[in-house]
Structure 1
Amino acid sequence: MGQGTEPLASQVNALLDGKLVIPSIQRGYVWRRPQVPFLLDSLYRGYPVGALLIWKTTLEVPLRTAAVLQDTPTYDHPAMLLDGQQRLTSLAKIIRPDAVKVGPALDVRFDLRDETFVNPSAVQRKDALLIPVTDVLQEAPQFATLLRQSGVDPDHPDFDTYYSRLKRVHDIRRYPTPILTVESDDYEEVAEIFARVNQGGRRLSKGDLVFSAIAARWPEGLDTIDQFTDELDRENFALDREAVLRLTGLLAGVGAHAIKLIGPRISGDDLKRAWAETESALRSAVDFLRSECGIPRSAALTSPNVVVVPAYLLHRRKTRLTPEEVSGLRRWVYTAMAFSHYSSQVESKLDAEARLINSEEGQRLVDELIRRASGPRSMDSPLSPADLERRGVTSSFFTLLYIAALGAGVKDWHSHIAMSAQPMTSTSKIEYHHVFPKARVSRRYGNELTNSLANLAFISGKTNREIGAKDPAGYLPKIHAERLTEQWIPGEETWHVDRFEQFLAARREALAAVLNDMLGLPPYTPGAARSQLDEMPEDDEQISVEEV
């Protein structure tokens, strides 16, 4: 990365001359009027205002229309302004008000008396000692003339002071501006740099950058995408935009690295076609996840990337899967969720899975997908009760057990209404309850056992509040036996506080059996040899849960 310093006015002129252009990954001009006097005051006082970040590349980069009129570049590859657009555009609007293209010109005044910069009111514009900054920042202003026009003649007692202050305002043109120059033809590297330096309020993701670039090549694209996003939200299946763009990249033929969607190979027509396929594929995938996998809403996914493989496979097969592909894909979804398949190397894994879908089919395809999603574990190695120790609400197993409970038609312990009938949105949290209330066991057994997976059940918030901190030996016998069986609650001999550890052990056995059945794994046999490759992923805090 090159570093240097240039006079500020030279960079403003470079923007106006078309030597500096705005790449489409930039947002538009968004500064509010109060920000401009603040910038001028910092420059006037010599305070640091940040470097300009410039990108030089031989790539054909889609551009964003600047908020000021620019001359047409006279060479093929003008420099791209990655950071500093708001500052330079604001100054260009002041220095060259005739070049303003978007929004009104900026009328900022300098108060000769107290050396402040203001956006003047109608009354203040009549104040002769508020000098238009536009007049002062011209290339060769006549300070004495400006002062005489303001009623300050050379014999005025403050003439020399005011003259000096105007000269200091004019010196803003010579403000030494740090320039950082990136020379790269790697979109992903540049997008990462841009995301790190452009954090105004929140960190921009690569997905944000790609969506901005799409707008430059396909003007109605963002409206089309937003309409579909709203549709998914109404269906309670809002999806992370980066996961969606990874699917779009696969369908566009550039791979799961979504940043490649803004590469020179992809035209606006390509984006339009790929997005139409993305919508169709995602609708099919959401239907599959709901009907075949029992996943009620997007918040129940342990990773939004889980939707990509079903969407891509259903698109490639025109939604016509073989029976073994349907059952195998369902098992793959559960396996990918259980073992945190997309906790790392997301794009590389999706690219490999897309190649597999393009080259294989039937049982051979699903076996290989499941093998990959199983990670270091053998794809046929069952979960043991010990695998559920030290697992809580942040474990992917918690989400899978919730899905299993909904699939079994589990009902609330008091209302006897199916949990699946509870009102839900995309982000509705999973409601859960400590079978042995924390107040009863946490001090004696510690938080790890108290909050463990085997002590959690799915009930409504109202029922949880009604149970409160009651002793399980007192409240569980009053609950219908079928409700307890639905949630794999062991026998009443374990319902006493001094039997809490036995309760957990018995329920872990039941939960492991449920998970093995979901994952298509054989039943666990105590004492059976296990593969040395079998390792369990750490809990991931990626699920929406709510203790009620």
Structure 2
Amino acid sequence: MRLPWTGQVSYKPSSLFRLIEELNRSIFLPHIQRPFVWEEDQMLRLFDSLMRNYPIQTFIFWRTKDEIKARKFMERVEWDADLSDFYDPGKSKKDVEKVFVLDGQQRLQTLYALFCGPITSADNRRAEAYFDITSGIVPDDRGLLHRVQFFGGAAPVSLVPHRRRAKPRWTTKFRGSSRPHQFLHGQSESHDPLDKREAPPQAKEREKRVRRNSGQLLSLLREEKHFWIQELDGVANEYPYDRILDIFVRVNSGGTNLDASDLMFAAMKEAWSDVEEVIEQTTEMLNGTNLQFDKTFPLKCLLVAHGRGAEASPEKFTGPDGHGLMSAINTNWARAEQAFQELRDFLKNDLKIYADKVIRSYNSFIPLFDFLYHNPKPNEPTRTLLKAYHYKAQLFGWYSQGTDTVVNALHTIVGKPNPGGFPMTEIKDYFKKRGSATELTRAHMNETRLRFILLNQVYVDQMGASPLDVNFKGNDPHVDHIYPQSMLRSKLGFLSADINHLGNLRFMGATDNIRKRSELPAEYFARMKAGGMDITKHLLLPEYARDPAKLAFDNASYKEFRDLRFERMWDILSSTTNPEVT
């Protein structure tokens, strides 16, 4: 039973010195927190805001003695750190008092890096923050008034100019110290930030800026007025974990720091601490052919397969129902993992998908997972229907609207053992009722928006490989006109509908397309054939591949070739998209 809200929350100020002193001593991160994700620019903006005396959001802490995994803040910021390296087993134990940060990880880790610890630079070096203590006049091109930069070792000599030049003087943390109260004890390279040789007005103004900046830094470090903490005291009051989790989710869902999957992981980790790592590995596996799945996709797959609906929300993983769901997911993970692997193999080996250019909706793959979860290791006839489902879904926009509604409806059809194979008839009946097309027609083949997907489908069927699986970045295939469009228009007088006809289109590598220009097809394909290229896979008609001279440049020859090739493409596309009909 959920305890009533008591409203007993302490609200108190703190100095920055005290906050940083307590990090990794009494203040830790709970395991539900995601990694540190702020970019360097965000870190510098926080510092600039504090130097301008702008207010920043309140931190929310939770004091507890519960057995919760406690994670340390990074003493040196690593951008791709393994979070398991930072867990403190001693502080994680039951009856050991600790304070967890529910809201404020990014800001606190930034403050630690700026005032106490380094970051890891792009070249994998230790880099510390240096502050131009004379800054504060004009904002830079990013709108920052107070300049901070991270350097490996001491600030470069070029940034510590000769005293006679009115340029930045850089100060850093006191060398050899791990505590922030010595932050201002000295300037890099022993240079005095106040240039006594400058003209009196400039020197006086410069001195005022240095004193103002120094005073603000000391105020931030020493005075208890810049940082405010709301502390939920779970030692003196009742703050059970499920209530804290609810608070965490609500606090973070109001901003842009966490996406849907992050919030769901926060809710899921109570029942399965390793779930985020497992899902990340699954997402990486699915993206093995250059696709763009995000972590929400496998979570939605699991929700659907376990009958909880496609609507993804953290609330589904909390409370008794959520615990039951997580227990089922954990218990049946081997089965789910196999289904994810079969889905990935299907994408790679059957559909040959190597780019999201040929995918109009990633959500169309959820019913495929749902079917494989309940019907593992499908036979060849079933795989043929699975491919047809995919092509129909992409070509006819089955998931262009009401995605979750569609996925939930299809779960009632595919989310169970289907000994008769993939239930294509029932799926088509459902989409017919929604007013969607369910079978490919010749009219679909001349829809401009579909030609990339259709061409890829033809090449996959004929070549057994995807033209999008390229070895060199930037050589992705272009849609090319076999008979050059400019010459068809200018010399033979054809209009766009006849020129941009699917029967006249093929794929061609970007590099080759640039070189080809407006060469006539008979000469071009004769040259390719002489060079040992199999031109049949492009022309699709063996008689033309045997004798490219048949590609004569006149009205009758063009129309005959185009229409014959279009019919050959229709044979290929209808057999792969409509196998249940043909």
TM-score range, shorter chain: 0.5 to 0.7
Provide TM-score, normalisation by structure 1. 0.58
1:23-47 Cα distance to aligned partner (Å, 9 max, x none): 766434466999878745532332x
Task: State the distance in 2 between where 1:263 and 1:235 align.
Answer: 34
Q: Does 1:335 align with 2:392?
A: yes
1:342-369 Cα distance to aligned partner (Å, 9 max, x none): 3333333222222222468437932122
Counterpart amino acid of 1:67? F
| Aligned mate of 1:248, from 302, 307, 322 | 302
Counterpart amino acid of 2:14? A
2:61 and 2:102 in contact (8 A); partners too: yes
1:357-391 Cα distance to aligned partner (Å, 9 max, x none): 24684379321223345685566655133x33351
Q: Name the residue aligned to 2:362.
A: 304
Gap runs ≥5 in structure 2: 1-10, 75-87, 121-126, 137-145, 156-170, 185-206, 231-243
Task: State the distance in 1 between where 2:512 and 2:573 align.
Answer: 26
Q: Name the residue aligned to 1:437.
A: 484
| Aligned mate of 2:106, from 58, 76, 86 | 86
Q: How large is the Cα RMSD of the aligned pairs? A: 6.2
1:183-194 matches, cutoff 5 A: 193-194=254-255
1:189-200 matches, cutoff 5 A: 193-194=254-255, 197-198=256-257
2:289 and 2:348 in contact (8 A); partners too: no
1:252-401 matches, cutoff 5 A: 252-260=306-314, 262-264=317-319, 265-266=322-323, 270-273=328-331, 275-289=333-347, 293-295=350-352, 297=354, 299=356, 301-319=359-377, 325-358=382-415, 361=418, 362=420, 365-372=423-430, 376-377=434-435, 382-385=440-443, 387-392=444-449, 395=450, 397-401=451-455
- Cα 1:112/1:283, change in 2 over 3 Å: closer
Instruction: Determine which structure has greater relative contact order: mean sequence separation of CA pairs < 8 Å that are 6+ residues apart, divided by chain length.
Output: 1
Task: State the distance in 2 between where 1:111 and 1:420 align.
Answer: 53
Task: State the distance in 2 between where 1:281 and 1:464 align.
Answer: 40
Deviation at 1:281, TM superposition (A): 0.2
Counterpart amino acid of 2:461? G
2:388 and 2:579 in contact (8 A); partners too: no
Counterpart amino acid of 2:106? Q
SS of residue in 1 equivalent to 2:398: coil
2:340 and 2:369 in contact (8 A); partners too: yes
- Cα 1:472/1:259, change in 2 over 3 Å: same
| Aligned mate of 2:459, from 402, 405, 417 | 405
1:57-96 matches, cutoff 5 A: 65=71, 67=73, 81-82=102-103, 84-88=104-108
- Cα 1:358/1:109, change in 2 over 3 Å: closer
Counterpart amino acid of 2:399? Y
1:110-149 matches, cutoff 5 A: 134=181
1:161-194 Cα distance to aligned partner (Å, 9 max, x none): 9699648843764249899xxx996999877644
Q: Name the residue aligned to 2:504.
A: 455
1:297 and 1:426 in contact (8 A); partners too: no
2:488 and 2:499 in contact (8 A); partners too: yes
Task: State the distance in 2 between where 1:211 and 1:428 align.
Answer: 38
Q: Between Structure 1 and Structure 2, how many residues are aligned? A: 459
Q: Does 1:9 align with 2:14?
A: yes
SS of residue in 2 equivalent to 1:457: strand
1:188 and 1:259 in contact (8 A); partners too: no
1:130-188 Cα distance to aligned partner (Å, 9 max, x none): 9x864899xxxxxxxxxxxxxxxxxxxx99x9699648843764249899xxx996999
2:310 and 2:408 in contact (8 A); partners too: yes
Counterpart amino acid of 2:520? D
| Aligned mate of 2:577, from 519, 526, 529 | 519
1:246 and 1:347 in contact (8 A); partners too: no
Task: State the distance in 1 between where 2:254 and 2:288 align.
Answer: 35
Provide TM-score, normalisation by structure 2. 0.56
